[in-house]
A and B are shown apart, each in its own frame.
Chain A
């Protein structure tokens, strides 16, 4: 599982960074999205990988990292997803405005 996750993060980051440096706005926004997926997975990985472990302690029950998974990275990922999603939407609007004003989808507004 570690190998799959790390390879996934690596591929996502590499494609994201490559697309980020491309000259078309659409490529840039897809690059940013891929990058944010990679980051979200990375945050998740920083809480250590555990299968079938609940993040929330039952009322009255004892909690601990032996039986439970770390809940904080999951909370962080949720926040990061929400913020990242909102920012991508905003970027999309600016992208469209730029396309409308300049008539081209080049990031510099001219070919």
Chain B
């Protein structure tokens, strides 16, 4: 077996070992713990990049590439880890977010409670596991691991607001986990397998008496992920939870909604793709219309938000809705663009959550409410504006302001950054579903999607402008925040990643398109998993 094959297990194993190793270390050695955890995340990042290269260069259809048989049992019987382009992409994205968050937290936030770095590492392991697993029940275990760590992280720092938000968040997720289990067991009862690749095979041969059970199971399972992804009307918990969490935690939570989206994308393409027979396209319209409603709800929320934390929470909803609707359309080109959008919007959201805390150090809490109220009833003291001409903007505020502007451009999808390129790629897919020049009708739902995509960008721009003007231009006399280098570096790092994504849009887009193409041909995935040779067997390379 190739050595790169064995790397697949490390993004799960390494964080678990680090997390366990950090628990007995005394809390007073926080910096040491942070540095060890940071090192572990860096190694995971390097491994993820190696895996991504391997996945991108893997020859199509070779049995066993990227399939890791845990316990060396052949595929439908033992549990498997599967690496393909999509999971490799998500691994790299998670590692980047984790690096930024950890660096940010080491300035002060990791002091707010116990075992912060262990929890982060466990969450990294859970998220990576959810991306890599090829088995539904194993997915449940990794999902719970990720959620358990997220409960701890949400409560990090304690306080009334966080405990209240945590109570709601845990109750909702426990109920969703029950639905997850019901869905998984219904699918098992109807098809007799939990292996995703095997399910993709058996879906065509399920008899009519079991088909309804199987589809009911898939629908219930889907609801569990839609709760996580925050689809309207299942996502009301999201803005409150995200704005209550400590900034680094909110920033890393940006990946959690994407786990839900990832699994919906994976399962709908694998189980209900074009080859699925009668069940083909099952649930797609729910995803499409649910996604559209989520974008609408998120955009209204963005406009109505008074605090920046809630604004960012609604931006997460808009991003989820956009992705869900793209999955619901099931058009390969749109999904390619949507994957680009996923990467860009996740990086932006993470950066914005980190930035909010730095910016808000300069202002008092009541200012936001006052700002929006003043807008509604008109400015009271218009004469005072004359005095402010000629006041120099302090250096810290200038850097923060530039970062804020970049976030605003990325959120609203203005050129030249990756937010625009992502939306452009999706619109291109919507208008030319059969490739450039091919005539194809555009349905009403697609027109709605197009207009919502553009309108949600406009809503984000208006809201960000309002907040930006109030924060950076009208409150010069406020205190200038003290910002450490270690706090601004992660924000710059994430935004640089977005800029790099824009500069290297060609290769990145090719990767996304190849990923979308691979997703639309599930037989390759199924073939690779089902015929994976056991280690030590003849024929294994």
Q: Is the CB of B188 within 8 A of A46?
A: yes
Q: Is the CB of A107 within 8 A of B160?
A: no
Q: Is the CB of B163 within 8 A of A97?
A: yes
Instruction: Compute how far the CA of A98 lies from the CA of B154 in the bound complex, rounded to whole angstroms.
Output: 14
Q: Is the CB of A108 within 8 A of B185?
A: no
Q: Is the CB of A25 within 8 A of B151?
A: no
Q: Is the CB of A32 within 8 A of B175?
A: yes
Nearest chain A CB to B307 CB, angstrom units = 19
Nearest chain A CB to B64 CB, angstrom units = 24
Against A, the Cβ 8 Å flags (1 = close, 0 = not) of B156-194 are 001110011011101100110110011011101100001
Of all chain A residues, the one with the shortest Cβ separation from B190 is A46
Instruction: Compute how far the CA of A97 lies from the CA of B175 in the bound complex, rounded to whole angstroms.
Output: 21
A5 within 8 A of B: no
Q: Is the CB of A43 within 8 A of B181?
A: yes
A-facing residues in B462-490 (Cβ within 8 Å) = none
Picked from A28, A36, A72, the residue with its CB within 8 Å of the CB of B178 is: A36
A interface size (C-beta, 8 A): 35
Q: Is the CB of B137 within 8 A of A76?
A: yes
Chain A residues whose C-beta falls within 8 Å of the C-beta of B164 in the assembled complex? 98, 102, 108-109
Of all chain B residues, the one with the shortest Cβ separation from A65 is B192
Classify the interface of chain B: helix, strand, loop or mixed.
Answer: helix
Against B, the Cβ 8 Å flags (1 = close, 0 = not) of A69-90 are 0001100100110011011101
Picked from B151, B177, B181, B184, the residue with its CB within 8 Å of the CB of A90 is: B151
B37 within 8 A of A: no
Most buried by A among B158, B177, B185: B185
Q: Assuming A39-B178, A86-B148, is B189 touching A101 (CB within 8 A)?
A: no
Residues of B whose CB lies within 8 Å of any CB of A are: 137, 140-141, 144, 148, 151, 155, 158-160, 163-164, 166-168, 170-171, 174-175, 177-178, 181-182, 184-186, 188-189, 194
Residues of A whose CB lies within 8 Å of any CB of B are: 20, 25, 28, 32, 35-36, 38-39, 42-43, 45-48, 72-73, 76, 79-80, 83-84, 86-88, 90-91, 94-95, 97-98, 101-102, 107-109
| Sample of 16 more A-B contacts, CB < 8 Å, known A47-B188, A76-B181, A80-B140 | A28-B171, A32-B171, A32-B174, A35-B178, A36-B174, A38-B178, A43-B184, A43-B185, A73-B188, A76-B185, A87-B177, A90-B148, A94-B167, A98-B164, A101-B163, A102-B160
A-B contacts, 9 of them at CB < 8 A, read A25-B167, A32-B174, A87-B177, A94-B151, A94-B155, A94-B163, A98-B164, A101-B160, A109-B163
